[in-house]
Amino acid sequence: MRLRDAHVYDLAGSNFPSARVVHQESAVDLGRLGAKAAFEEYVAQAGPSGSFTGFALVEKAALQEPEEALATLDRVLKAREVATSPARDDWSRALLGKGRALLRMSRAADAGKILREFLDRYPESPAAIEAAWLLVGVAVEQRTWTEALRRIRDLETIAAKASESDRAPYGDLLKEARFMKGDIHFNLDDYDAADRAYGQALRPDAGSEDRLWGLIGRARALARLERREEARRHYVQARAILDEQPAPTGRGREYWEIALDALEREVR
């Protein structure tokens, strides 16, 4: 499963120079440790009532391992070190960040509780798209496939209601959800629906790894439907894509080699 941890914050144009500099340059110039120190320095200088104190802590949490991130986000959510409230954007982002961190720790039940709270509080927020996607991840983590399908449909509904500009930062996430829908149908033994979902996800602009995901998924579904000739064609296409890319990014070559070897046995 490739549930990404989307992190879509935009402080550009704010009066928060430390955050702006770190957000743009931390990976190259400051490094993660330097970035976290810079955010903490801002918090110390600005104090609880600083306009961007809460945002600084949320950004720091995004650079931390999930266990550390939880402690940082609670500094915002408990509003002891930050003058904030659920009505403010820094608090809502901290709540979403907490759900994201809990899911990364495989604490699916706790993550689900936080993410459902986010959707209850902020149903109109563009970030509801990410919260809905992470709830798909909760269901997948728990292997509750019917719930996962329901959550995928909720995600589709939320995304459809959002404006194009609000959806834009979540484009990769929504693309991944289309492939995940195929996986969920497959795990529900609904192979016709899985084949359709993978086919719809395989758009002309899909990258090579997405095409591998879709082609392998379709081939597996078609094999279960006893449509082996079609399944073999998809297997051959997937194998050709991998052979053309000796060092694929993302999941890595070994993952796809194992998947294709297993698929080869299915389509014989």
What is the structure's pLDDT at 248? 66
In a domain, 118, yes or no: no
In a domain, 246, yes or no: yes
Q: How many domains does the chain have?
A: 1
In a domain, 243, yes or no: yes
In a domain, 244, yes or no: yes
pLDDT tens digits, residue range 125-177? Answer: 999 999 999 999 999 999 999 999 999 999 999 999 999 999 999 999 999 99
What is the structure's pLDDT at 50? 82
Query: pLDDT grade, residue 226 (50/70/90)?
Result: very high
SS3 letters across the chain: CCCCCCCCCCCCCCCCHHHHHHHHHHHHHHHHHHHHHHHHHHHHHHCCCCCCHHHHHHHHHHCCCHHHHHHHHHHHHCCCCCCCCCCCHHHHHHHHHHHHHHHHCCCHHHHHHHHHHHHHHCCCCCCHHHHHHHHHHHHHHCCCHHHHHHHHHHHHHHHHHCCHHHHHHHHHHHHHHHHHHHHHHHHCCCHHHHHHHHHHHCCCCCCHHHHHHHHHHHHHHHHHCCCHHHHHHHHHHHHHHHHHCCCCCCCCHHHHHHHHHHHHHHHC
**Whether pLDDT at 266 is above 50:** yes
What is the structure's pLDDT at 264? 95
For residue 70, which of 102, 34, 103 has the smallest C-alpha distance? Answer: 102
In a domain, 143, yes or no: no
In a domain, 248, yes or no: yes
What is the structure's pLDDT at 40? 83
In a domain, 218, yes or no: yes
**Whether pLDDT at 25 is above 80:** no
In a domain, 213, yes or no: yes
Residue 143, sorted as left (phi over 0), alpha (psi -120 to 50) or beta, turns out to be left
Domain residues for the domain of 247 are 205-268
**20 contacts: CB under 8 Å, gap ≥ 6:** 11, 12, 14
